[in-house]
């Protein structure tokens, strides 16, 4: 008894709409987009805090990483449910990889350029769960980037490859937990006082991240509900 795969069918329909593209242009377009995300986050935090330095820029590195990787993951659901972003599916890999690059940059700056803010190992001792979930997320994302190529698809097989790539949603959820554990007290303070007027950027990031997870769950439920077994003719004895 065979089952049709609504997601695979939808993906095939989408790819037929995509015009021939240059991989180098996709990387360039994605990087330019990432600059806009970084500048937007920087302006937001400057407006909220009234100052800007490497510590704040490092926050925006993390924001940019979350947004890019979140969009990379959200594209599957967006393209499945709506037509208006179909042709953007070709940016999924590039958003994820460049987003990972911003995450690595965030980690490097945190560990080596902001010792006064993140003294090691004192910071880890004070935030053990946050450090653990961030490390697990990083390891999963490293694995995802490592297999984000055609050679890996051939070696692993498309079905196994897709299953491994979906583990990225676990890493993304861990990143959301990491943000929430570090920033929860600040959110409560803002909710109580509404000072400053703009909400914490981390709160908006987590709301966005939760939205990405919900979209994936909706996609999963929709695909399961549409899978119907194809019955073979019954032999009468």
pLDDT tens column, 140-191: 999 999 998 889 988 989 889 989 999 999 999 999 999 999 999 999 999 9
- Residue 6's pLDDT band, with cuts at 50, 70 and 90, is low
Would 237 be classed as within a structural domain? no
Would 34 be classed as within a structural domain? yes
pLDDT tens column, 39-85: 999 999 999 999 999 999 999 999 999 999 999 999 989 988 888 78
Would 223 be classed as within a structural domain? yes
The answer to whether 56 and 49 are in contact (CB under 8 A) is yes
The answer to whether 101 and 35 are in contact (CB under 8 A) is no
pLDDT at 7 over 90: no
Report the SS3 class of residue 233.
coil
Count how many domains the chain has. Answer: 1
DSSP category for residue 197 = S
Residue range of the domain that includes 141: 2-227
Would 236 be classed as within a structural domain? no
Task: Give pTM, 2 decimals.
Answer: 0.88
Residues 6+ apart with CB under 8 A from 234: none
- Tell me the C-alpha distance between 48 and 193, whole Å: 14
Would 235 be classed as within a structural domain? no
Structure tokens belonging to residue 9: 């069918």
């Amino acid at each position: 008894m065979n089952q049709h795969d609504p997601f695979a069918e939808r993906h095939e329909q989408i790819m037929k709409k995509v015009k021939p593209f240059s991989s180098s242009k996709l990387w360039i377009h994605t990087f330019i987009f990432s600059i806009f995300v970084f500048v937007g986050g920087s302006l937001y935090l400057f407006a909220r805090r009234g100052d800007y330095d490497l510590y704040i820029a490092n926050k925006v590195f993390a924001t940019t990483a979350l947004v890019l990787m979140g969009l990379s993951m959200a594209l599957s659901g967006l393209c499945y449910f709506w037509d208006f972003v179909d042709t953007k599916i070709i940016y999924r890999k590039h958003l994820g990889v460049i987003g990972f690059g911003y995450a690595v940059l965030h980690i490097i700056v945190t560990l080596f350029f902001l010792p006064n803010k993140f003294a090691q190992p004192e910071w880890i001792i004070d935030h053990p769960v946050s450090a653990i979930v961030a490390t697990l997320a990083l390891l999963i994302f490293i694995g995802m980037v490592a297999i984000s190529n055609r050679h890996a698809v051939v070696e692993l097989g498309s079905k196994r490859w897709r299953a491994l790539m979906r583990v990225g949603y676990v890493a993304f959820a861990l990143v959301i937990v990491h943000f929430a554990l570090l920033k929860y007290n600040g959110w409560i303070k803002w909710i109580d006082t509404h000072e400053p007027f703009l909400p914490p950027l981390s709160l908006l990031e987590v709301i966005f991240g939760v939205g990405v997870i919900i979209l994936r769950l909706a996609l999963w439920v929709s695909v399961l509900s549409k899978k119907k077994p194809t019955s073979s003719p019954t032999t009468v004895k």
